[in-house]
Amino acid sequence: MASSSGTSSGSSSLVRNSGSDEDLQVLMDQRKRKRMISNRESARRSRMRKQKHLDDLAAQVSQLRKENHQILTSVNLTTQQYLTVEAENSVLRAQMNELTHRLQSLNEIVDFVNTSSAVFAASNSSSSSTFMESTNSFFFNSPLNMATCLNHPIMASPDMFQYC
């Protein structure tokens, strides 16, 4: 009978081992499921972070493009204003040169008239008033005089300087 009791105790330990193996397997399956759920949740959070980062980058790209467009518009406007001012400056320079030339011509005429009248007055003091009247008459009535040139507008345009 000793052998039968040994057999019965051996089979009960097998049942216990088999039960503990099943419990261990169940416990491992539960841990595996928890890890899978945790991994899925972690992957979901990672995908959400990645999507948020991509959305932030897309918004930043949009903002930078908008700023770039504004800067380009500002640069184009400033360039246009610069070209306008440069053209106006060229016109003013041309007008200044023309006026300077006219002034020099008028000064030369005045010097000539003064020199001629002084020479004539020294040689003939009685007829100097007649000479002055005739000189003034010639100067102011001649079609070549500078007084009529002063009434003409000074013409200059930016197109004059585009090939310089």
| 1 found inside a domain | no
Q: Is 31 helix (H, G, I), strand (E, B) or coil?
A: helix
Closest CA to 94 of 3, 20, 160: 160
Instruction: Report the alpha-carbon distance of residue 9 to residue 2 in Å, rounded.
Output: 11
In this structure, of 20-24, 27-31, 101-105, the range with the lowest mean pLDDT score is: 20-24
- 74 or 112, which is more confident? 74
Range of the domain at 139: 8-161
> How confident is the model at residue 118, as a pLDDT?
74
- pLDDT band at residue 20 under the 50/70/90 scheme: confident
Tokens of 80: 């246009």
Please report whether residue 3 resides in a domain: no
Question: Could you give the number of structural domains in the chain?
Answer: 1
Mean pLDDT throughout 134-143?
55
Tell me, yes or no, whether 73 lies in a domain: yes
- Whole-model pTM: value is 0.46
Q: How far apart are CA 15 and CA 21, in angstroms?
A: 10
CA dist., res. 140 & res. 133, Å (int): 11
Q: How far apart are CA 81 and CA 98, in angstroms?
A: 26
Evaluate if residue 156 carries a pLDDT over 80.
no
Residue 109 lies in a domain: yes
Q: Per-residue pLDDT tens for 38-51?
A: 999 999 999 999 99
What is the C-alpha separation between 94 and 81, in angstroms, rounded?
Answer: 20
Percentage of residues in the chain with pLDDT exceeding 70? Answer: 61
Q: How many Å apart are CA 88 and CA 95, to the nearest integer?
A: 11
